[in-house]
Amino acid sequence: MAQVFLNVLGKRGMIAIWCCIIVVQYASGAAQGVDASRVVFAFARDNALPGSRWWKRINRRTQTPVNAVWLVMAVSAICGCLGFSATVLTSLAGASVIGMYTSYATPILLRITSGRDKLVPGPFTLGVWSTPVGALAVAWVLFIEIMLFFPPGRRPDSQEMNYTVVIIMAVFIFAMVSWVLSAHKWFKGPVRNLDE
């Protein structure tokens, strides 16, 4: 990308655009770090992560979950190093998008199936269109998720293969084994932190 900017804009134009890109990437990374550390803290608060006692600890001086932030930054740094391999980056990105899209589509699916009569519509509703639009949204997400499992080329070798399915299955196997061996005994769902 830098070469394209250099060819089109010259050296000064490329440096100016590239500096803007660096600032935007830093701001985006910081925002994603904050979001991810909040998720880690929430899961740890509910005792749903290994080492939850450590990750949910609040720093006395800053009143923030500093340990959760450092965990996110360390895992992000490891994932960043993995990004030097195009195969790993493609697989990791595919697995991340599948996880994110599944988290978006699950409430929609539940709303148009078993939750149809259980939820009271809020101030914004699609009315009679909610079920068809919801079904279309879930179908689209399912289609995209299936596409994300395929490799980028027609005849992939081991360097070009998409290992997204390996990552997704590793997460499912870890979660199932963890649940069967211990989590079903102690995990009781979200911990209430607000008074009635």
Three-class SS of the chain: CHHHHHHHHHHHHHHHHHHHHHHHHHHHHHHHHHHHHHHHHHHHHCCCCCCHHHHCCCCCCCCCCHHHHHHHHHHHHHHHHHCCCHHHHHHHHHHHHHHHHHHHHHHHHHHHCCCCCCCCCCCCCCHHHHHHHHHHHHHHHHHHHHHCCCCCCCCCCCCCCCCHHHHHHHHHHHHHHHHHHHHHHHCCCCCCCCCC
Please give the pLDDT value at position 169: 93
Please give the pLDDT value at position 74: 94
Residues 179 and 98 in one domain: yes
Taking only the tens place, the pLDDT of each residue in 5-32 is 889 999 999 999 999 999 999 999 899 9
For range 175-181, the mean pLDDT: 90
Residues 77 and 91 in one domain: no
Cβ proximity of 90 and 54 under 8 Å: no
Per-residue pLDDT band for 48 (boundaries 50, 70, 90) equals confident
Please give the pLDDT value at position 185: 84
Mean pLDDT lowest among 16-25, 100-109, 180-189: 180-189
Q: What angle do CA 144, 145, 150 make, to 5 degrees?
A: 95
Residues 88 and 74 in one domain: no
Residues 128 and 145 in one domain: yes
| Dihedral angle computed from the Cα positions of residues 70, 71, 76 and 79, in that order, rounded to the nearest 10 degrees | 140
- Domain count for the chain: 2
Higher-scoring residue by pLDDT: 187, 114: 114
* Residue carrying structure tokens 């959760």: 68
Residues 194 and 111 in one domain: yes
Domain boundary among 82, 103, 131: 82
Domain boundary among 39, 65, 82: 82
For range 59-88, the mean pLDDT: 89
Please give the pLDDT value at position 196: 53
DSSP 56-82: TPPPTTT-S-HHHHHHHHHHHHHHHHH
Residues 4 and 76 in one domain: yes
Share of the chain above pLDDT 70, in %: 98
For range 174-192, the mean pLDDT: 83
Residues 125 and 193 in one domain: yes
Query: Between 130-147 and 86-112, two packed helices, what is the crossing angle to 10 degrees?
Result: 160
For range 145-160, the mean pLDDT: 84
Residues 139 and 181 in one domain: yes
Residues 99 and 122 in one domain: yes
Residues 59 and 11 in one domain: yes
* Residue carrying structure tokens 């009315």: 127
Please give the pLDDT value at position 195: 63
In a 10 Å sphere around its CB, with 0-12 CB exposed, 13-18 middle and 19+ buried, how is residue 65 labelled?
buried
Residues 112 and 175 in one domain: yes
Residues 55 and 106 in one domain: no
Q: What is the mean pLDDT of the chain?
A: 88
For residue 19, give its domain range: 1-82
Domain boundary among 59, 82, 105: 82
Total-model pTM: 0.71
